Amino acid sequence: AQSVTQLGSHVSVSEGALVLLRCNYSSSVPPYLFWYVQYPNQGLQLLLKYTTGATLVKGINGFEAEFKKSETSFHLTKPSAHMSDAAEYFCAVSDLNRDDKIIFGKGTRLHILP
């Protein structure tokens, strides 16, 4: 079965600095990959997704992620952090060829330092 590992339960960056949130997945076939964001007391909102095609995916709020099959990774980046980016971020994987379930990582809480 597929699985997702997010490195770092908490990440702190200074406002204006690069944001890098790491995600590695396990899947025996090409996966579908997602990043979601959750603001306090809210549901999850999709940031971006990779299904097929271009491996560099751009999402909302200036975020992007690159699918690297050789590294089984789908790291999330943003060139310049903003205070409004403070939230919890979840990486998720789904495998249409197997059981179709969407499996989430444990999440990374992003803190933005002024």
Report the residue number, 42 or 70, with the smaller CB distance to other proteins: 42
CA distance 112 to 4: 24
- Choosing from 13, 92, 110, 112, the residue that interacts with other proteins (CB under 8 A) is 92
For residue 67, the SS3 value is strand
Which residues, numbered 23-82, are part of the site for other proteins (CB under 8 A)?
A: 32, 34, 42-46, 49, 51
CB of residue 32 vs other proteins: minimum separation in angstroms? 6
CB of residue 90 vs other proteins: minimum separation in angstroms? 6
Q: Measuring CA to CA, how many Å separate 45 from each of 29, 71, 72, 113?
A: 26, 26, 23, 23
- Choosing from 65, 73, 93, 105, the residue that interacts with other proteins (CB under 8 A) is 105
Q: How many CB atoms lie within 10 A of CB 31?
A: 25
CB of residue 71 vs other proteins: minimum separation in angstroms? 22
CB distance 111 to 14 below 8 Å:
no
**Structural tokens at position 9:** 């339960």
| Site residues, other proteins (CB under 8 A) | 6, 9, 32, 34, 42-46, 49, 51, 90, 92, 94, 96, 99-107
